[in-house]
Amino acid sequence: MRKVLLVCLDNLGDLIFTSALAEALRQDPDVELSLWCKDYTARIGHLLPGVQQVFAADPFWDKSPGRKKGSARLFFRTLRTIQKEQFDMALIPSSCWRTPCFLRMAGIRQRIGLAGRKNGLFLTQVLPAPSRHEPVVAGLLRSFQPVLKPGVAPHTCLDRERLPQFQLPAELQSKPYVCLHAFAGRRDRCAPLPILQGLARQLESMGYAVLWMGTGPELQELRQNPEVSMHGLYADRWAHDLLSVAWLISRARFFIGHDSGPLHVAGALGIPVLGFYLPGEPLRTMPQGAGPSVMIVCDDPAALDAQSAGAGLQELLDQLKT
């Protein structure tokens, strides 16, 4: 049995893309798989297929969304714990040189990662970095092919069976609901609120409940908008961490949102997705779960109109009928 540590010290979307490597490693009966990820993504990390234990510590050189840089004390405490586990191999799907440097300090003999500046000094096997002109998952599987079982489908994947079972709120029991995530990591990539309000009204006229998703401050902003407050419910009434957010997403009929972590969580859970790329890298970070998806791509949020948004919604609904 080989003890393998999969390392993703990036944000939620990157962790979801890394799930494809976890699924590939799960196919190997000789692998005992662990994960090291950021603290705020750790509860989602437990949903990666085949992962048996999760180490959570933010890198002290980077910030998580809405947080300060990680604690160096917690980082090195986690590194000492990892050292005691005596892993045989670490897989690092990033080009940051610091991660393999510290993993060498932890005594992991095989450190396999992507080519990047200074990486060759600390990796025992340097793999070609994926092209930025291909889907992330396909690129990762191609790069790590020398250490993976062949024939793995190029999809993100989260284990729905590992989700805890919460009580579905009464407001969401009477009709199917749709998750609508109104925000992106950058405000200059967010769809105009009137467009999203129009989608919410259209969905409600079709018999769906609308569940607005976002952080507490983001949803409070929506609550203070008189046009939005008349249409839909707000996820922070019931979801207070990423795991409960994922559970709510897993019960939705489909998900509408921007190219961001929650969209990729939905895709990895097999939930149909309508994604806004305003702009983005649609050829690279398209929804890569196994379920149906539709992308709306514009060079600028101002170029998005109600007709295009409605057409994208109808295209997704047509896919769900087939």
All structural domains of the chain with their residue ranges: 2-158, 163-321
Task: Please state which CATH number belongs to domain 2-158.
Answer: 3.40.50.2000
Amino acid in the structure at residue 34: S
Q: Specify the pLDDT at position 242.
A: 93
Under 8 Å CB-to-CB from 230, ≥6 apart: which residues? none
Q: Specify the pLDDT at position 66.
A: 83
**Where on the phi/psi map is residue 19: left (φ > 0), alpha (ψ -120 to 50), or beta?**
alpha
178 strand-pairing partners: 210, 254
The reply to whether 2-158 and 163-321 are identical in fold is yes
Per-residue pLDDT of the chain (322 residues; tens, 9 = 90+): 899 999 999 999 999 999 999 999 999 999 999 999 999 999 999 999 999 999 999 999 999 888 899 999 999 999 999 999 999 999 999 999 999 999 999 999 999 999 998 888 999 999 999 999 999 999 999 999 999 988 889 999 999 999 998 889 898 999 999 999 999 888 889 999 999 999 999 999 999 999 999 988 899 988 888 777 667 899 999 998 999 999 999 999 999 999 999 999 999 999 999 999 999 999 999 999 999 999 999 999 999 999 999 999 999 999 999 7
Asked if 179 and 249 count as a contact pair (C-beta separation under 8 A), the reply is yes
Domain 163-321 has CATH 3.40.50.2000: yes
